[in-house]
């Protein structure tokens, strides 16, 4: 990974990467706070999706990314499918997006928010030696 904050092509240290991830996460949570709970379920903010739907979508794909990082660090890690096994992420991204939407659309925001916050509090993962 390159140092994006300085527009450099030099690799960044693990410490710098974790600091940047934590900074981006803090900015994301601040944005959600600024949007406010009362606006989370406003319909059709983007392509028919509410902010809550977008948060669920991002959280679903981020969970997949975290699982991949964990598996890269420990190949014995079980890669638990986050969506039905018949959906293959390399070929069926639109179908997976639709599945994530359907799986979360009827959840009230506090539940979606709790899921997102629990996930976010574990990201980035604890530093490993």
pLDDT at residue 20, rounded to an integer? 92
pLDDT at residue 126, rounded to an integer? 46
pLDDT at residue 128, rounded to an integer? 41
pLDDT at residue 16, rounded to an integer? 92
**What's the CATH class of domain 4-121?**
mainly alpha
Q: Domain-by-domain residue ranges, the chain? A: 4-121
pLDDT at residue 121, rounded to an integer? 59
Query: How many Cβ atoms are within 10 Å of 40's Cβ, its own excluded?
Result: 20
pLDDT block averages, 10 residues each, the chain of length 129:
59 89 87 87 83 89 84 82 80 88 84 60 48
What are the phi and psi torsion angles at 49 (to 5°)?
A: -95, 145
The reply to whether the predicted model has a pTM over 0.85 is no
Contacts made by residues 98-102, CB under 8 angstroms, sequence distance 24+: 100/56, 100/57, 100/60, 100/61, 101/49, 101/53, 101/56, 101/57
Per residue in 49-60, is it b (16+ CB within 10 Å) or e — as a string? bbbbbebbbebb
pLDDT at residue 86, rounded to an integer? 84
Distance CA 48, CA 55 (A): 14
């Amino acid at each position: 990974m390159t140092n994006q904050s300085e527009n450099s092509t030099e690799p960044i240290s693990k410490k710098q990467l974790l600091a940047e991830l934590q900074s981006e996460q803090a900015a994301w949570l601040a944005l959600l706070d600024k949007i406010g709970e009362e606006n989370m379920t406003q319909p059709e903010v983007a392509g028919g999706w509410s902010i809550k739907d977008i948060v669920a979508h991002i959280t679903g794909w981020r969970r997949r990314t975290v699982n991949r990082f964990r598996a890269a660090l420990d190949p014995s890690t079980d890669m638990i499918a986050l969506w039905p096994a018949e959906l293959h992420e390399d070929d069926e991204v639109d179908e997976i997006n639709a599945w994530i939407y359907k799986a979360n659309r009827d959840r009230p925001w506090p539940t979606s928010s709790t899921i997102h916050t629990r996930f976010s509090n574990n990201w980035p993962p604890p530093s490993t030696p």
